[in-house]
Structure 1
Amino acid sequence: MSADNPRFGILLMSLTTFVFAAQDGISRHLAGEYNIYLVVMVRYWFFAAFVIALSARHSGGLRAATTTGFPLLQVLRGAILAVEICVTVLAFTLLGLTETHAIFICYPLMVAALSGPVLGERVGWRRWLAIGVGAIGVMVILQPGSGVFTVWAIVPLLGALLFALYGLLTRYVARRDTAQVSFFYTGTVGCVVMTAIGAFHWEPMSGPDWLWMAALCCTGAFGHWLLIKAYEATEASTVQPFAYLQLPFAAMFGMMFFGETLRTNVAIGAVIVVAAGLFTFWRERKRASA
């Protein structure tokens, strides 16, 4: 597929968010029955196998995939993402899919805010204004000072911060490493980290839940494959805004299968955060084109 088919790329990105939302729903189910380390560890086993197989088929094979100009940063990236997944899955069990995603979607604003000190990028007043508006949206979701607020809301905020750091480090290593290299280290380092932790938390699983685990692994691999194809179909700047569709899809799964409800303040706050994030993305795209 040539890199000039935006409609197909948008379709693939939309399907990607649906698959990842389904993966989150399965993660919530399994994490409600078993410890989180076990669930994430087995998921990473399959993910690492997928990454290695995919890297072996690329030009240069595994040798090219392992050659990096930032070995320590690549290891740090992979470890941060593994911890972030554990934190976010924990948030699913504490707050549900809907509210976790409503809070988690502030991570692009965190990326914008941290791009100055981490990457040395200039953050103009318009982006700072958008970051401030997004923070107001998060406050609308959390309702601090009210009886609705729960201290567990800190968990998805921590997950968003970790994912923002992962994204910033990904942008930093991209100055010298290819996406193939970063993808390889994401899967393999995460697998090593989670195996070192999860091996001490092994517990037997029932037959039906092994089927759910297989579904979790397959949706993860399929989602990443769709994401790769979306970026092959068209420019990342075209499809990236549609990544926000994961929020309504996750909310749909939460309400359909877990009896969750969408509170008014969560819906309003999420709209504010998404709007601020889209504006920030538009400003970055405009600056890049200039």
Structure 2
Amino acid sequence: MSSITADSSSAAAGRSALRGVLVAFSAYAVFAFSDASIKILHGAVPSYQVAFIGALFGFAAVPFLKRREDAWLDMVKTSNRPMWLLRFICGATGAICSVIAFTKLPMAEAFALLFLLPSFVTILSVIFLKEDVRWQRWTAVILGFVGVLVVLRPGFRELSVGHFCAAIGGLAAAISIVINRALGSKEKRISLYGAGLFGTLAVSGFLMLSEVTAPTATQWIFLASYGLLGALGNVLLMNAAHMAPANLVAPPQYSQMLWAIVFGYLLFNDSIDMPMAFGILLIIFSGLLTLARERKRGTPLPAAVAGNTQAALATTQEDGAEAPER
């Protein structure tokens, strides 16, 4: 009888994990549509203003991220104010830089640089968290940066502010993840989410004072799409983390590159040559290798990569994912 019960529980867990993975794929697709909404605007609305409006719509996710025991004021409360303020700054930097990157670059190229996030997390974890990183993860880091060099081909292609902003956006998201690791369960998810939102509102709101545009009705549709789909992606990813271990939820994030290629080809007339395709594959392999090594060693996994940098909170240990494998 106990064997039958165990088999039934195992089958139920398997079905839940499968649903979690499918929901994760849906979440990353939603993030890709959110990022495409930025690109469709073609820079007609200033980047600071896009980030500001996106953050306003981002509050739509708060009721779903808020737990019963959380108070609304917990969005600005913290157990470590310096760390909260650092995430405040990183949230603003990541949001603004990702908007600029998707405005200036082909989507696949922007994602290629944002996908350096796992490599940045590894480096920062060694420096600030004193993690023991062995040769396999350093190999993944090196492969990631080689992939970026192949994609960018400095000296052979003109680099722009979009490339710089994509790299800075990935670095800002990586710093946010390291902050999450450092704080652990001491900090509520709603507090960290609030830091990113309020940081984006404050910084982008100040910067956009010098240039504010009145969006057209069509532009408002895409601005709302950017913000609301980003919020929906966070909610979906949080639910995916409830259904499946995070080591299954994290890898589907690389499906965003497929969406980026499809959108680039169908909507933006982007093209990818063979060297760029090879570099993208190197970056993706680097990220997957990092995920595999961190899962094996019980290190918290890097969270989602998306233009919406708040995605990094969706698979925290607070969500009930397996404790050693966020």
TM-score when scaled to structure 1?
A: 0.90
Per mean C-alpha deviation after superposition, the further-off stretch among 151-160 and 5-14 is: 151-160
C-alpha contact 1:55 1:184 (8 A) present in aligned 2: no
Q: CA deviation at 1:113?
A: 1.6
Name 2:202's counterpart in structure 1. 192
Q: CA deviation at 1:55?
A: 5.5
Deviations 1:47-73 (A, max 9, x none): 13542x346663232245544211221
The residue identity in structure 2 corresponding to 1:11 is L
Classify 1:195/1:236 alpha carbon distance in 2 versus 1 (closer, same or farther; 3 Å). same
The residue identity in structure 2 corresponding to 1:150 is L
What is the distance in 1 between the residues matched to 2:90 and 2:105?
A: 22
Q: CA deviation at 1:228?
A: 1.1
The residue identity in structure 1 corresponding to 2:154 is P
The residue identity in structure 1 corresponding to 2:159 is T
What is the distance in 1 between the residues matched to 2:85 and 2:35?
A: 25
C-alpha contact 2:78 2:191 (8 A) present in aligned 1: yes
| Count of equivalent residues | 287
| Greater relative contact order (CA < 8 Å, ≥ 6 in sequence) | 1
Name 2:55's counterpart in structure 1. 44
Of 164, 174, 184, the residue aligned with 1:154 is: 164
Matched, 1:215 2:225: yes
What is the distance in 1 between the residues matched to 2:243 and 2:229?
A: 20
Q: Considering only aligned residues, what root-mean-square deviation do their CA atoms show, in Å?
A: 2.2
What is the distance in 1 between the residues matched to 2:120 and 2:43?
A: 29
What is the distance in 2 between the residues matched to 1:66 and 1:159?
A: 23
Of 68, 92, 95, the residue aligned with 2:102 is: 92
SS of the residue aligned with 2:155? coil
C-alpha contact 1:244 1:274 (8 A) present in aligned 2: yes
Name 2:144's counterpart in structure 1. 134
Name 2:129's counterpart in structure 1. 119
The residue identity in structure 2 corresponding to 1:264 is M
What is the distance in 1 between the residues matched to 2:137 and 2:64?
A: 37
The residue identity in structure 2 corresponding to 1:93 is T
Matched, 1:263 2:273: yes
Structure 2, unaligned stretches of length 5 or more? Answer: 1-11, 299-323
What is the distance in 1 between the residues matched to 2:70 and 2:114?
A: 37
Name 2:249's counterpart in structure 1. 239
The residue identity in structure 1 corresponding to 2:191 is V
Per mean C-alpha deviation after superposition, the further-off stretch among 86-95 and 237-246 is: 86-95
C-alpha contact 2:23 2:236 (8 A) present in aligned 1: yes
Q: CA deviation at 1:86?
A: 1.3
C-alpha contact 1:41 1:191 (8 A) present in aligned 2: yes
Name 2:119's counterpart in structure 1. 109
What is the distance in 2 between the residues matched to 1:196 and 1:238?
A: 40
SS of the residue aligned with 1:33? coil
Deviations 1:227-271 (A, max 9, x none): 111111122122111111111112211221111112211111111
Deviations 1:20-77 (A, max 9, x none): 11111111222521111111111111213542x3466632322455442112211221
